[in-house]
């Protein structure tokens, strides 16, 4: 696969542009000028989709300012509704989509539910509101951000939901094991997989774990041993596994700097060899506390400020 085609599989997550985010974030959020440089670099390297949310601080406004300053970079933007929206009020849903469009300065590629529990009330205003937003040209598609396979399956049963975002990483392959990725591809859904680095955890060594995260130490030791056996750096292994296990999905990555993004682009230019992938396949699935950041202690603050 050509480097440009590989880059097109990446989606740039923008939580880091609006707030400090991620357990391995040591630089904080970039300033406005640095954010614009990062976005321009992403575009020049072939990335074409941005993932954002109304909950990500002022990330939507940062993206909108970038579009105003650099109109030739025609990213598609996927955003997410606020979790406290009056879900039974279709007018409120349309107004929320319209607010994102106003901040970003152009229609959205998709607007997602940011709370998987809202799937239970899809027929009580949410679906109607998002359908109206599509009809008005505010967004091209409706979707949901989920956290577990059961909710992913529930979304697949709603034909109006054509975009699904979910966590996936070497310790959390439940979507693959349950056949849900294959079902999504067969039904023509667009799937965005996030948390491939487990919010940065997979790039750390056990001694770097924050207070209260000792439960992850043994898994990290096994992970780094498997990476060593495969002859890979942890970021190569984590991103390479996601690309290999989910060939039909797009992969959401978050970066604070051009250097981080350049590293990720260099990694995807060299797909994992079967021998290396086999070494990583032997890792057991992660326990619930490991793969669900909502169960982690509040370190760093961003972990408790917003879910992806």
Structure confidence at residue 25 (pLDDT):
43
Structure confidence at residue 18 (pLDDT):
81
| pTM for the structure as a whole | 0.91
* CATH number of the structural domain spanning residue 135: 3.20.20.100
The answer to which of 96-110, 170-184, 257-271 has the lowest mean pLDDT is 257-271
Share of the chain above pLDDT 90, in %: 78
Q: How far apart are CA 100 and CA 15, in angstroms?
A: 15
User: How would you classify the pairing of strands 10-13 and 161-167?
Assistant: unpaired
| Structural contact between residues 196 and 166, judged by C-beta atoms closer than 8 angstroms | no
State the pLDDT confidence band at 96, using cuts at 50, 70 and 90.
very high
Which 8-state DSSP code applies to residue 140?
S
Long-range contacts of 177-183 (CB under 8 A, 24+ apart): 178/149, 178/153, 180/149, 180/152, 180/153, 180/156, 181/246, 181/248, 181/249, 183/153, 183/156
Q: How many whole angstroms from its chain centre is CA 214?
A: 25
Structural domain span for residue 89? 3-305
State the pLDDT confidence band at 270, using cuts at 50, 70 and 90.
confident
Q: How far apart are CA 50 and CA 36, in angstroms?
A: 13
Q: How far apart are CA 159 and CA 187, in angstroms?
A: 9
Q: How many whole angstroms from its chain centre is CA 6?
A: 17
- Residue 134: pLDDT over 60: yes
Q: How many structural domains is the chain composed of?
A: 1
Which 8-state DSSP code applies to residue 144?
E
Mapped onto helix, strand or coil, the DSSP state of residue 2 is: coil
Query: Mean pLDDT across the stretch 246-270?
Result: 93
Instruction: Please tell me which of 99-108, 114-123, 227-236 the model is most confident about, judged by mean pLDDT.
Output: 99-108
Q: What phi and psi values does residue 172 have, to the nearest 5 degrees? A: -135, 85
């Amino acid at each position: 696969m050509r480097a440009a085609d590989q880059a097109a599989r990446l989606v740039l997550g923008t939580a880091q542009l609006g707030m400090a985010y991620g357990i391995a974030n040591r630089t904080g959020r970039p300033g406005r000028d640095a954010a614009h440089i990062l976005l321009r670099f992403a575009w020049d390297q072939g990335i074409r989709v941005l993932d954002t949310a109304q909950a990500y601080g002022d990330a939507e406004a940062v993206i909108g300012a970038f579009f105003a300053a650099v109109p030739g970079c025609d990213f598609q933007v996927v955003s997410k509704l606020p979790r406290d929206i009056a879900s039974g009020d279709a007018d409120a849903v349309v107004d929320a989509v319209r607010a994102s469009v106003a901040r970003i300065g152009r229609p959205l590629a998709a607007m997602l539910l940011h709370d998987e529990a809202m799937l239970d009330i899809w027929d009580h205003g949410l679906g109607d509101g998002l359908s109206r937003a599509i009809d008005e040209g505010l967004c091209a598609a409706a979707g949901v951000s989920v956290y577990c396979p059961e909710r992913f399956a529930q979304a697949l049963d709603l034909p109006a939901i054509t975009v699904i975002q979910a966590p996936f990483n070497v310790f959390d392959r439940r979507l693959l094991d349950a056949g849900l990725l294959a079902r999504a591809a067969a039904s023509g859904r667009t799937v965005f997989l996030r948390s491939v680095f487990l919010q940065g955890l997979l790039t750390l060594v056990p001694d770097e774990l924050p207070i209260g995260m000792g439960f992850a130490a043994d898994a990290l030791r096994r992970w780094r041993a498997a990476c060593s056996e495969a002859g890979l750096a942890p970021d190569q292994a984590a991103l390479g596994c996601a690309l290999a296990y989910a060939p039909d999905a797009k992969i959401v990555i978050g970066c604070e700097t051009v250097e981080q993004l350049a590293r990720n682009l260099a990694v995807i230019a060299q797909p994992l060899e079967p021998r290396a992938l086999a070494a990583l396949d032997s890792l057991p699935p992660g326990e619930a506390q490991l793969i669900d950041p909502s169960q982690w202690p509040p370190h760093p603050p961003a972990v408790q400020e917003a879910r992806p």
